[in-house]
């Protein structure tokens, strides 16, 4: 009637459930951000009621960290691309100058 459940199996199921829950929360937050430019208080409070406060806070912090890291890396990549283009245009101009 009652089966013995392995502790690892229980923890694994809880992690999977938390991951699925986080994905659902993240999907709703991203939709709200696309519509409004930011996550609205009503959306986050509705999610906090449906799920729990800790899960919603964790997802919001994760998204904030991704946005910060993404902007930093995008800016770095843009600067590298601009420097590469400047270098190529300078080489092209020098080649044309010396070929005359």
Q: Mean pLDDT throughout 70-85?
A: 69
Q: What is the pLDDT of residue 49?
A: 94
By C-alpha distance, which of 67, 61, 56, 46 is closest to 25?
56
Task: Give percent of the chain above pLDDT 90.
Answer: 27
Q: What is the pLDDT of residue 48?
A: 93
By C-alpha distance, which of 49, 14, 43 is closest to 26?
43
Domain boundaries, the chain: 7-99
Helix, strand, or coil (residue 88): helix
Q: Mean pLDDT throughout 26-30?
A: 91
Q: What is the pLDDT of residue 58?
A: 92
Q: What is the pLDDT of residue 59?
A: 92
Q: Which residues of 7-23 are buried (b: 16+ CB within 10 A; e: fewer)?
A: eeeeeeeeeeeeeebbe
């Amino acid at each position: 009637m009652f089966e013995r459940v392995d502790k690892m199996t229980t923890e694994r199921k809880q992690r999977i459930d938390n991951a699925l829950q986080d994905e659902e929360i993240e999907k709703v937050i991203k939709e709200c951000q696309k519509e409004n430019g930011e996550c609205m208080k009503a959306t986050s409070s509705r999610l906090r009621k449906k799920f729990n406060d800790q899960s919603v806070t964790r997802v919001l912090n994760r998204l904030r960290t991704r946005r910060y890291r993404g902007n930093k890396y995008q800016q770095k990549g843009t600067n590298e691309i601009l420097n590469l283009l400047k270098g190529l245009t300078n080489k092209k101009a020098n080649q044309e100058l010396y070929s005359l």
